[in-house]
Amino acid sequence: MNKNNYALIMAGGVGSRFWPVSRTEYPKQFIDFFGVGKTLIQSTYDRFLKICPPENIFIVTNEIYTDIIKEQLPGIGDNQILAEPIMRNTAPCVSYGSMKIAQLNPNATIVVAPSDHTITNPEAFVTAIERSLKAASENDCLITLGIKPSRPDTGYGYIQYTESVLETDPEIFKVKIFTEKPNLDLAKSFVQSGDFLWNAGIFIWSAKSINKAFLTHLPDMHEIFQQGNSSYNTDTEKEFIGNAYQQCINISIDFAIMEKADNVYVLPADFGWSDLGTWASIYDIAEHDYVGNAVIPSEKVMMFNSSNCMVNVPKNKLVILQDLHDYIVVESNDTLLICPRSAEQSIKQIVADVKSKFGTKYI
């Protein structure tokens, strides 16, 4: 196993679209949605153990989740948890992590990945990541993984690529443009063209290349975190980061770097990926009964003339559904949500309205 390979797992999101199961104090990355005995972050960590030495896996998260990280990932040391004092999107956490890792190993090659995605073909995932890490170690480039689209989905960003390839790898293509979530007609044209991929939000680069990219495209943020070189991996790191984050703008790595850099490449991949962005994505992956119901757990749920429902309820709760079709039924933390599957995009607004009326008690 290459000791220059590092993983930076992003685990700071609040997962509001999975409310009420996912709460601010215990968001979706720490939940076992499929009843498999592992939470999403545990599954992500286990995948990277096949790619990096355990001491080279770092978790960046909000400081309020530090204890949960230690509980769910007992192999992680304190120095491997990058605790953010406030939420500032993905660019600051990438800059922080890259600077910290570079201080440990200037020759590091880093994969940055969310903690809450699912991969149904982990072997193909490992192969794609290792290929990308090798290419990133040999070239001054920023690599992203692009998922071959199976349908014209409007919930994903898209990456268009050209015929130009890396000199060292003919399967890694030059990126032409990133496109945010398109409308259905545009998504259909993307899929039909054959040169668009879904943006998986998984990035691979050397520490030198990504820090150089920050210097070029976001110099103020680069300077903020460069000032911490004497503090990283010491007892003064936490104090430095507390001050640094107050100075950072709220911006994503996609917008700050990937959409602006001219050395961005993509590896088309297919490893059974889902970003688990909505209850619909859970429904798509979960096992269904003969009329399309996905029930997790299923021990005490009884369905009568009901079909195509997504049901997630406590194990000890007896639930009976009669004449219900195409609904989401979710109960957790003294909250019951019943919502048409077609209206699940409104859940985020529902959460905002609940917060407005009842405060943070149910959020």
Mean pLDDT score of the chain: 93
User: pLDDT class for 333, splitting at 50, 70, 90?
Assistant: confident
Percent of the chain with pLDDT over 90: 76
* Structural contact between residues 111 and 129, judged by C-beta atoms closer than 8 angstroms: yes
- Give the per-residue pLDDT at 51: 97
Q: Averaged over 296-301, what is the pLDDT?
A: 84
| Structural contact between residues 159 and 144, judged by C-beta atoms closer than 8 angstroms | yes
Contact 130, 51 (CB under 8 A): yes
pLDDT at 314 over 80: yes
Read off the pLDDT of residues 26-65 as tens digits, 9 standing for 90 and up.
Answer: 999 999 988 888 999 999 999 999 999 999 999 999 999 9
Q: What is the pLDDT of residue 172?
A: 97
Cis peptide bond prior to 314, omega within 30° of 0: no
Reported as a single tens digit per residue, the pLDDT across 179-220 is 887 888 888 888 888 889 999 999 999 999 999 999 999 999
Q: How confident is the model at residue 281 (pLDDT cuts 50, 70, 90)?
A: confident
Model confidence band, residue 68 (pLDDT cutoffs 50, 70, 90): very high
Whether the predicted pLDDT of 107 surpasses 80:
yes
pLDDT at 151: 84
Q: pLDDT category, 311, cuts 50, 70, 90?
A: very high
Q: Please identify which residue in the block is written with the tokens 């997962």.
A: 15
Segment 84-93 mean pLDDT: 95
Ranges 212-216, 227-231, 250-254, 344-348: which has the least confidence: 344-348
Query: Tokens at residue 182, please?
Result: 């398109």
Assigned token pair, 189: 């044209």
Q: Cis omega before residue 20 (within 30°)? A: yes
What pLDDT does residue 346 have?
Answer: 87
Measured between alpha carbons, how far is 8 from 262 in angstroms, rounded to an integer? 23
Over residues 244-270, the mean pLDDT reads: 95
**pLDDT at residue 96, rounded to an integer:** 98
Domains located in the chain, CATH noted? 5-274 (3.90.550.10), 279-358 (no CATH)
DSSP code per residue over 94-148: HHHHHHHHHHH-TT-EEEEEESS-EES-HHHHHHHHHHHHHHHHHSS-EEEEEEP
pTM value? 0.93
Closest CA to 114 of 258, 264, 269, 252: 252
Given a cut of 80, whether residue 161 has pLDDT beyond it is yes
What's the average model confidence in pLDDT over 142-169? Answer: 90
Give the chain's largest Cα–Cα span. Answer: 65
